[in-house]
Amino acid sequence: MDLKSKIILIFGPTASGKSSFAIKLAKKINGEIINADSMQVYKELKILSARPFQKDYKNIKHHLYGFQSVKKNFSTGNWLKLVHKKILEIKKRKKIPIIVGGTGLYFKALTDGLVSIPNIPIKLRAKVRSLHKKIGSKSFFSKLIKLDPLSKNKINSSDTQRVIRAYEVKLFTKQSIYDWFKNTQSKFENKNFYKIYLDYPRVGLIEKINIRVKDMIKKGAISEVKRFIKLKVPKAKTASKAIGIEEIRSYLEKKIEIIEVIEKISIKTRQYAKRQSTWGRGNMKDWNKIESDGLNKFLKKI
């Protein structure tokens, strides 16, 4: 199997062993690892985001991990710009880029391109939302179809967020949002990628998640959240949504016991892993699916 001319993508649910697999692969094929996890970009969230260990960084070069302040938002567009740059740098060094993570939107942006719709003025967005509230979902959807006939069979009338978005895009840009989608392209061709989707059995994954959460607490997740709270990060910031912050905050405020913290974080992480798997099944049908017991076999084939 010749992977030396490829950009390797590795996606899978949380706790599925993506990072350790990526490191083993990188050692075999002279690769460097790039992060594709939206929480692992934040420098202050090392434990809660399950960032790779420092010893891993020494053995294999890692990129885009723990560099962004939690006080700033970090978008898919921000990541895409940086990842393009990193891929070219790695290839220039005659190494192989291995992009690993669990943020499906990052991978989609890289393989399909990111829609660059101009920013809609706040006043116009407020006006559209006000209209939706005034006339109701049914009438608003009828108005959308008249304004943008392309939306008719592509959008569910009950999907309020997408209906409003389609309306404001057409109103402001004079182009259908679906024309914007159609004209979106990746900087790379599909043949440039080798896509791996790690498929982990649900029961085994639940067990791994439970172990990981207990391990996070032992390694200092509570102290990490204490430091995070001191930074006074606004709730609207992306980093504030990291699984574990809310639960540990409740523990520090003496609202719940530590056993409940572990249980709540485990449940939320399992729900997140389920959403990741659902995303993978729906959006990664052309990816090479490898089950957890087939990882070593794959590595031996290279």
* 153 and 40 housed in the same domain: no
In angstroms, rounded to a whole number, what is the distance separating the alpha carbons of residues 108 and 185? 11
* 243 and 278 housed in the same domain: yes
Amino acid at 166: A
Residue 2 lies in a domain: no
Residue 116: pLDDT band (50, 70, 90) is confident
Residue 141 lies in a domain: yes
Residue 1 lies in a domain: no
Distances (CA, A) of 233 to 44, 51, 78, 171, 228: 11, 20, 20, 35, 7
* 160 and 268 housed in the same domain: no
- Tell me the per-residue pLDDT of 147-198, one tens digit each, with 9 for 90 and over: 999 998 888 888 888 899 999 999 999 999 988 888 788 999 999 999 999 9
Residue 1: pLDDT band (50, 70, 90) is low
* 201 and 281 housed in the same domain: yes
Distances (CA, A) of 12 to 5, 164, 192: 23, 32, 20
* 78 and 101 housed in the same domain: yes
Structural domain tally of the chain?
2
User: Above 90 in pLDDT, residue 115?
Assistant: no
* 206 and 176 housed in the same domain: no
pTM for the predicted model, two decimal places = 0.83
- Nearest Cα neighbor of 101 from 72, 79, 71, 116 is 79
Cβ atoms 273, 267 nearer than 8 A: no
Question: Of 136, 156, 182, which residue constitutes the final position of a domain?
Answer: 182
DSSP string, 121-188: PHHHHHHHHHHHHHHHHHHHHHHHHHH-GGGTTTS-TT-HHHHHHHHHHHHHHSS-HHHHHHT---SS
Compute the average pLDDT of residues 274-294. Answer: 92
* 155 and 243 housed in the same domain: no
Residue 232: pLDDT band (50, 70, 90) is very high
* 86 and 138 housed in the same domain: no
* 44 and 134 housed in the same domain: no
In angstroms, rounded to a whole number, what is the distance separating the alpha carbons of residues 25 and 194? 13
| pLDDT score recorded for residue 260 | 98
* 75 and 193 housed in the same domain: yes
* 137 and 26 housed in the same domain: no
- Tell me the per-residue pLDDT of 53-87, one tens digit each, with 9 for 90 and over: 888 787 899 999 999 999 999 999 999 999 999 99
The enclosing domain of 267 has a CATH number of 3.40.50.300
Cβ atoms 27, 64 nearer than 8 A: no
**Is residue 286 classed as helix, strand or coil in its secondary structure?**
coil
In angstroms, rounded to a whole number, what is the distance separating the alpha carbons of residues 72 and 226? 19
Question: Of 153, 182, 211, which residue constitutes the final position of a domain?
Answer: 182
In angstroms, rounded to a whole number, what is the distance separating the alpha carbons of residues 181 and 186? 12
Question: Of 162, 182, 202, which residue constitutes the final position of a domain?
Answer: 182
Which range of residues forms the domain containing residue 131? 122-182
* 80 and 97 housed in the same domain: yes
**Paired tokens of 44:** 């202050």
Cβ atoms 34, 83 nearer than 8 A: yes
